[in-house]
Amino acid sequence: MGNIAAAGTHSPDPGSWDCRAGDGPWPCDVARESLRSEYQGDRLSLAMLMGGYLAAFTKEKPGSTDSVARFVGWTRSPRPAATPPLFQS
């Protein structure tokens, strides 16, 4: 799987998919921030990496209901604010 070195001890525990540091389900907040920092705004590559983890997770734990939000949903950038028109008629 991809590089999760930035997450350090906050990596997934095989089988349980919990954070090895004991911070609950992986990716924990620390792992998410580390991964965001590592990918420096390249949200597409980050989403692709996390999509690979999502595939592995769903293969091991089919039927999980929150898996897309857990693995990929947080990688999405917030929607930009609506830009007002330059000219109004």
pLDDT tens sequence across 1-45 = 545 554 568 999 988 999 999 889 999 999 999 999 999 889 999
Residue 85: pLDDT over 70:
no
The whole-number pLDDT of residue 6 equals 45
* SS3 label, residue 61: coil
Ordered by start, the domain boundaries in the chain are 14-74
Residue 49: pLDDT over 50:
yes
pLDDT in tens, 20-29: 998 899 999 9
Query: By C-alpha distance, which of 70, 85, 73 is closest to 43?
Result: 73
Question: In this structure, what is the dihedral angle of CA atoms 69, 70, 75, 76, given to the nearest 10 degrees?
Answer: 10
Please list the alpha-helical segments (H only) found in the chain.
29-39, 43-60, 67-71
The whole-number pLDDT of residue 20 equals 93
